[in-house]
Amino acid sequence: MTTLLSIKNLSVSFRIDRDTQYEAVRNISFDIPEKSTVALVGESGSGKSVTSLALMGLLPKENSKTSPDSRVMYKGKNLLTISSAEMQKIRGAEISMIFQEPMSSLNPVFTVGFQLGETLEKHANVSAAEARKRALALLEEVGIPEPTTSINKYPFQMSGGQQQRVMIAMAIACEPELLIADEPTTALDVTIQKQILELLAGLQRKRNMSVLFITHDLAVVGDIADHVIVMRHGQIREQGSVRQVFTQPTDPYTRALLACRPRVDTRPKVLPVIDDFINAENVAHASNTNQSGTQLFNPLANVETRTRGIKPEDSVILDVQGLSKSFYTKSGFFSQKEFKAVNDVSFKLHKGKTLGLVGESGSGKTTVGLTLMRLHEATAGKAFLEGKDILAMSEAEFKQYKRRIQIIFQNPYASLNPRFTVGQILQEPMQLHSIGNGGQERAGLAFELLARVGLPEASFYKYPHEFSGGQRQRIAIARCLTMKPDILICDESVSALDVSVQAQVLNLLQELQDEYGMSYLFISHDLAVVKYISDEVMVMSNGEMVEMANSDDIYARPQHPYTKKLLSSIPTGMAAMA
């Protein structure tokens, strides 16, 4: 196999301020062979996106620097040193790129046909009529339904998956030799993700191009990649064929990544986290017992598994009956259009148990959570907490119940007030609900909770921006714990986190449930996570409940076709290899 593009000793550093440099990528080397798919895997901050920007010549010139011995060799040329005019010719025509957010990558004021045609006219030098013909063919190729009508659509008239298809069509329009896909499926639903992955794999084979697939999700990689590179903190931890990386990972970090993601087939009591692996490795090295290299820490050995499920004798804490929520948009001068976000959903939440709520975007799962919190007003339905309908009571009456039902939001970066110190964030609910006597006692409680969620004491005086995503989510959890709620709604609470951090937060949530006996309503689009944490799973689609059963049952014997479709979309790469 001949090499298409070769990266040698690439180092990229960013200037943060006058005398601080941040080394985003440190001395990495790898090759992209012709006609193959190379996956670059790493968590946030691993330098994977910086690498891709460097080889597209898209690094910001003002504050970034590549080291003098860095090479990106492509057809005998070093892409880091050629002129920007030369790079311009290569970029788009020979190397093209697709991004994570199709919505923000497409210009909203032009039709997709226009944007596709523009690319073709610019790079392939064809007439407008010819460009339109080729645009139609491309849309057909990437699987856009009814290309002849879709070509005149604006980006906002298409779904996220279709937009990403258009982006792919634009990227392959000039028949590039290398397609860089930077997290192309991260913003998409699991069923759409599967389709896009299949499309990319098919195009790669059909067009004999190479694909550099950048992702944080190792599971996705198994399906499509030939070669896997694992990065962490700007360095390559491991690289090799996909089979080797998945079945015989040599690097503890790779093994940790593989192990700490919840899996559908087993359910360990505590998820392994990255530190377990790295520490085990260090211990092994320190005591020098790892001579043969066979005594590797095995995450699946000797792990206590947890059984889940609702038994008939479990008591019910929240009984939701016929919950509906409609949103209205003005469609005419006098008329309004009703959109049923949640339509007649009923379920029971059992004490000390977790109900997983699964669905794709737009299925209404988040609306259920927000409506139960009364952050949205329910259109119809009842929710009984200890015999009282919390949806019908007055605002004043509900205030007593607010502390009993709490929510953790998806985005830990947005859910903490950036102008409050962590101490203020934790003490505020105590002040509002008169928990604790005076500031001294509240501060004491806050310190205890910080320790409980595994944050250092100094956090009390710090601002949220000084913490990583996982730490912020811990702060959000601690804020809820101040009120000792009975019910905790976790709205995609671990979705924005890196795999390794996700495992830590899931472990924390599980520990807290065991300790305080809280009931969780766990909302997520990630089927594996829901399977891991839930006793019972409810599947939603288009605002309606599709299926509800004990979690093991629903994964083993899905009844509804939609559930079956969802389950079949879970990336299987890892499971197939293991």
Q: Which residues bind other proteins (CB under 8 A)?
A: 370, 373, 375, 399, 402-403, 406-407, 409-411, 414-421, 428-429, 432-433, 443, 447, 456-463, 466, 476, 479, 483
Number of Cβ within a 10 Å radius of residue 394: 7
> Phi and psi at residue 464, in whole multiples of 5°?
-55, -35
Q: Which is nearer to other proteins, 114 or 420 (CB)?
A: 420
Q: At its nearest, how many Å lie between other proteins and the CB of residue 326? A: 18
Q: At its nearest, how many Å lie between other proteins and the CB of residue 277? A: 26
> Phi and psi at residue 53, in whole multiples of 5°?
-65, -35
Q: Which is nearer to other proteins, 201 or 435 (CB)?
A: 435
Residue 295 contacts residue 255 (beta carbons within 8 Å): no
Any alpha helices (H) in 152-306, and if so which ranges?
A: 160-172, 190-207, 218-224, 242-247, 252-260, 274-287
SS3 string of 282-320?
Answer: HHHHHHCCCCCCCCCCCCCCCCCECCCCCCCCCCEEEEE
Residue 322 contacts residue 343 (beta carbons within 8 Å): no
Q: Which is nearer to other proteins, 119 or 406 (CB)?
A: 406
**Residue 292 CA from chain centroid, whole number:** 37
State the Cα–Cα distance between residues 136 and 130, nearest whole angstrom: 10
Q: At its nearest, how many Å lie between other proteins and the CB of residue 513? A: 19
| Pair of tokens at residue 102 | 């199709």
Q: Which is nearer to other proteins, 421 or 542 (CB)?
A: 421
Q: At its nearest, how many Å lie between other proteins and the CB of residue 420? A: 8
Q: Which is nearer to other proteins, 158 or 405 (CB)?
A: 405
Q: At its nearest, how many Å lie between other proteins and the CB of residue 370? A: 8
Q: At its nearest, how many Å lie between other proteins and the CB of residue 436? A: 14
Nearest-Å Rg of the Cα atoms of the chain is 26
Q: At its nearest, how many Å lie between other proteins and the CB of residue 453? A: 15
Q: At its nearest, how many Å lie between other proteins and the CB of residue 456? A: 7
- Containing H/E element for 158? none
Q: At its nearest, how many Å lie between other proteins and the CB of residue 469? A: 13
Burial 94-107 (b: 16+ CB within 10 A, else e): bbbbbbbbbeebbe
Q: At its nearest, how many Å lie between other proteins and the CB of residue 460? A: 6
Q: Give me the long-range contacts of 158-162 (CB less than 8 A, separation at least 24).
A: 158/112, 159/192, 160/102, 160/103, 160/187, 160/188, 160/189, 160/192, 160/361, 161/188, 161/189, 161/192, 161/195, 161/196
Q: Which is nearer to other proteins, 375 or 392 (CB)?
A: 375
Number of Cβ within a 10 Å radius of residue 430: 21
Q: Which is nearer to other proteins, 346 or 421 (CB)?
A: 421
Q: Which is nearer to other proteins, 428 or 544 (CB)?
A: 428
Measured distance between the N- and C-terminal CA atoms of the chain, rounded to whole angstroms: 27
Residue type, 442: R
Q: Which is nearer to other proteins, 278 or 443 (CB)?
A: 443
Task: Give the residue carrying structure tokens 């028949």.
Answer: 175
- Cα–Cα distances in angstroms (integers) from residue 258 to residues 236, 270, 475, 575, in the given order: 16, 15, 27, 10
Q: Which is nearer to other proteins, 233 or 404 (CB)?
A: 404
